[in-house]
Chain A
């Protein structure tokens, strides 16, 4: 108990800083929601930050702050849906592969190998294109590209846990398979996959932009972090702030997801000693 109290106090400054940053971001976003993310003014293209445009303007003279803020629900929403879906599917299949015997293991893991052998973005592209473009096919494509890594990781963690004496004791006591998987195996698997999920969020945002760029996801004028980044690459030297803004947004998202994930797990389970 001592050790855990100590860790909690030691972590407090970071947490305070996190809450502060979140608060500031929310206030800024509130103010920026009144701005129009689509209105162009080519005369004012690539202007550096000023009072009128706190993060400057992009190559079409659109306000970058307004675009970053308006993109947030879309980029975040799609990324989180993709990652939770992929993580759920991946972890479930990983547990089944670890528990259900050789045949299931071989089928699931070879499918994983097959999908992992293809570059993730290519797979998402193929699927989204095959299904006809639009948001839903894009979601499916990205999910399919993301789940195998969750399966690989959760299977290997689960195989280790299944060998532990507490699982054997539960089996001998006659607990059904789903109880063993949910109560004994899932918590350590979640602990290990949270970090993978937060990294996956960043990857998903970038995939959305790549698909958007190819006309398979969100169409160009729609503000969205990934496409904002790729649009501004040619102007990196002239407009570093405008380019950095969506990158920082993605970075903060990944950071927040990983901190939040760890926080939730720490509340549910005991902190490691």
Chain B
């Protein structure tokens, strides 16, 4: 097997430098066989997305690349030569972007977007190959559901002649069903004879291609590479081991103790509908007691986040009752204000819950305005120690520290308010598996030690099984696909 005929992609000594000149990715080499798959895994910020961007000649402004890239039977290209790489788009290399709803042009019908470079017959074929009816051809993107938009994007890759398909985090932020669709579509590309280069932090994607190669990237260096089945089953490097262990299915059972504590939240017969629409959910009854975790699961669009907002008093339910301890949350405004601070929310994207242009420490100190200033500083440093947050982080801005750190600072802010209930809305879906495990273990500890209630909204069944004591399942009432 000579590399020249069997290689779809050959990368040698790729170095990617940040604007400051430091190497973010150093001397990375790998090869991808024709019709094979190569999955790059690694922590957020390890430079794995940069590699995908470098292959496409799409590095962010200020970044530079060195090394050689050879795609298919072509000549080796200098990685710093972005224009040469761009000239291969659609002919040799195709790209499946991350966010399907943003990647389609909202002003043009799907057919027109698909047939830009190829004949309509070929794009119709590609649509059929991803199980979409031919009507879609005339649709504008706003008529597509998220799953359909995703299929259309894969169809563009299928319609092109490119032998190499690059996918950057194809499952980021998707619920379990959509993840399955995405993996299925990736496999279809492989069956079609394309070669796949996938960058992901999702274990499900890595495990979906046992025949392919897995490359583990840590701090910009390849720490382990080999056949996927072997690497994932018997990892040798320390980082890979932690990564594999971090899959929620492998967590030890963190929850489900039986002792009964008073409820901090009781929901009875709750329903919510947007005006003039079918209800998102009806007849929901459940409770969250002190020191317990109740999970809310359901497909996307089923109203999980809305349920969180109703429970927190941010949205008015159509019918039913929400009881905070002894208080009826939606009926007594004065009581609601009194208990307001003790019912808190942990958001999906922690960086967006902080002001972008105010140092994080200042934003924590702002809390003095709303809770007792007495002993505030002492309490704050206790909380920070407990969450293992270094003081230097507090001088930074929210977009300057890692996702896991911002999420811990967000938790610190909640703890300063001494909450009775935290509604965590997909708190880790944007974090890589290792950080996800850290954050959820921490949350579980806090729940057990402080005796507060946690309502965990998630789409990940394995994660819920590991963390939650009880589970509320919302069925999908009005989703078409």
Our verdict on whether A and B bind, yes or no, reads yes
Q: Out of B344, B369, B400, name the residue touching A172 (CB < 8 Å).
A: B344
* Chain B residues with a Cβ under 8 A of chain A: 19-20, 62, 312, 314, 337, 340-341, 343-345, 347, 349, 352-358, 366-367, 369-371, 397, 400, 410, 413, 417
Q: How far is the CA of A164 from the CA of B398 in the complex (A)?
A: 14
Which residues does chain A contribute within 8 Å of B347, judged by CB atoms?
165, 168-169
Contact A165 B353 (CB under 8 A): yes
Instruction: Mark the stretch among A80-88, A179-187, A208-216, A242-250 that contacts chain B.
Output: A179-187
Given contacts A172-B344, A174-B340, A179-B369, whether A166 and B354 have CB atoms under 8 Å apart is yes
Chain A residues with CB below 8 A from B370, complex form: 173-175
Smallest distance from the beta carbon of B203 to chain A beta carbons, Å?
27
B19 touches A270 (CB 8 A): no
Complex CA–CA separation, A136 to B228 (angstroms): 79
Specify which chain A residues have a CB less than 8 angstroms from the CB of B349 in the assembled complex.
165
The reply to whether A270 and B397 contact each other, CB–CB distance below 8 Å, is: yes
A172 and B340 within 8 A (CB) = yes
Are A174 and B341 in contact, with the CB atoms below 8 A?
yes
Chain A residues near B367 (CB-CB < 8 A):
173
Contact B417 A183 (CB under 8 A): no
Chain A residues within 8 Å of B343, by CB: 172
Q: How far is the CA of A166 from the CA of B347 in the complex (A)?
A: 9
Write 6 A-B pairs (CB below 8 A) sorted by A numbering.
A165-B349, A172-B340, A172-B344, A173-B344, A173-B417, A187-B357
Task: State the main secondary structure of chain A at its contact with B.
Answer: helix
Pair A173/B341 contact, Cβ less than 8 Å:
yes
Cβ–Cβ < 8 Å partners of B355 in chain A = 166, 183-184
| Contact present for A164 and B352 (CB under 8 Å) | yes
Given known A-B contacts A166-B352, A168-B345, A2 and B19 have beta carbons under 8 A apart: yes
Q: A169-B347, A270-B397 are in contact. Are A175 and B352 (CB under 8 A)?
A: no
Does A3 sit at the interface, judged by CB under 8 A?
Answer: yes
How many positions in chain A have a CB within 8 Å of any CB in the partner chain? 20
Q: Is A39 an interface residue (CB 8 A)?
A: no
Considering the complex, which residues of chain A in the window 1-23 have a beta carbon less than 8 Å from any beta carbon of chain B?
1-3, 6
The minimal Cβ–Cβ distance linking B37 to chain A, given in whole angstroms, is: 35
Q: Is A256 an interface residue (CB 8 A)?
A: no
Bound together, the chains give a CA A164 to CA B367 distance in angstroms of 19
Query: C-beta contact mask, A134-177 vs B, less than 8 Å → 1, else 0?
Result: 00000000000000000000000000000011101101111100
Among all A-B residue pairs, the 6 with the closest Cβ atoms: A269-B357, A169-B353, A174-B370, A165-B352, A165-B353, A270-B357
Closest residue of A by beta carbon distance from B343: A172
CA distance A162 to B369 in the complex (A): 20
B314 touches A168 (CB 8 A): yes
Chain B contacts of A270 at CB under 8 A? 356-357, 397
Using Cβ atoms and an 8 Å threshold, which residues of chain B touch A173?
341, 344, 367, 370, 413, 417
Residues on B with C-beta less than 8 A from A3 are 19, 62
**Shortest CB distance A197–B (Å):** 20
Contacts of A169 in B (CB 8 A): 345, 347, 353-354, 410, 413
**Bound form: Cα–Cα A166–B367 in Å:** 13
With a 10 A CB-CB cut-off, give which of B312, B355, B358, B410 has the most chain A CB atoms: B355
Q: Chain A 35-77, CB within 8 Å of chain B: the 1/0 string?
A: 0000000000000000000000000000000000000000000
In the complex, residue of chain B having the shortest beta-carbon distance to the beta carbon of A191:
B357
CA distance A184 to B413 in the complex (A): 17
| Residues of chain B within 8 A of A184, CB atoms compared | 355
Shortest A167–chain B CB gap in Å is: 9
For the complex, give the distance between the alpha carbons of A187 and B337 in Å.
27
What are the residues of chain A within 8 A of B353 when measuring CB–CB?
165-166, 168-169
Contacting residues, chain B, for A183 (C-beta < 8 A): 355, 358, 366
Assess the A2–B369 pair: CB atoms within 8 A.
no
Q: How far is the CA of A184 from the CA of B337 in the complex (A)?
A: 21
Measured between C-beta atoms, what is the minimum distance from A177 to chain B in Å?
Answer: 12
Query: A179 to chain B: which residues have CB within 8 Å?
Result: 369
Near B by CB (< 8 A), chain A positions 246-266 give none
- Chain A residues positioned under 8 Å from B312 (CB to CB): 172
A242 CB → nearest B CB, Å: 46
- Expressed in whole angstroms, the minimum distance between the Cβ of B371 and any Cβ of chain A is 8
- Cα-based distance from A174 to B413 in the complex (angstroms): 12
Query: Closest Cβ of chain A: how far from B59's Cβ, in Å?
Result: 15
Alpha-carbon gap, A3 to B343, bound state (A)? 39
Residues of B within 8 A of A171 (CB): 314
Q: How far is the CA of A6 from the CA of B61 in the complex (A)?
A: 12
Q: How far is the CA of A151 from the CA of B344 in the complex (A)?
A: 33
Bound CA span A2–B355, Å? 20
Q: A1-B400, A175-B366 are in contact. List 12 more A-B contacts (CB 8 A).
A: A2-B19, A2-B62, A166-B355, A169-B345, A169-B410, A172-B312, A172-B344, A173-B341, A173-B413, A173-B417, A174-B371, A187-B357
In the bound assembly, the distance between CA atoms of A3 and B400 in angstroms comes to 12
Q: How far is the CB of A171 from chain B (nearest CB, A)?
A: 8
A183-210 CB contacts (< 8 Å) to partner B: 183-184, 187
User: Shortest beta-carbon distance, A268 to chain B, in Å?
Assistant: 8
CB-based nearest A residue for B348: A165
Name the residue of chain A whose CB is nearest to the CB of B355: A166
- CB neighbours (8 Å) of A174 from chain B are 337, 340-341, 370-371, 417
- Give the chain A neighbours of B366 by CB distance below 8 A: 175, 183
Complex CA gap A3/B20 in Å reads 10
- In the complex, which residue of chain A has the Cβ closest to the Cβ of B346? A169
Cβ–Cβ < 8 Å partners of A187 in chain B:
357
Q: Tell me the bound Cα distance from A239 to B320 in angstroms.
A: 79
In whole Å, how far is A40's beta carbon from the nearest beta carbon of chain B? 55
Q: Mark A114-137, 1 if CB is under 8 A from B, else 0.
A: 000000000000000000000000
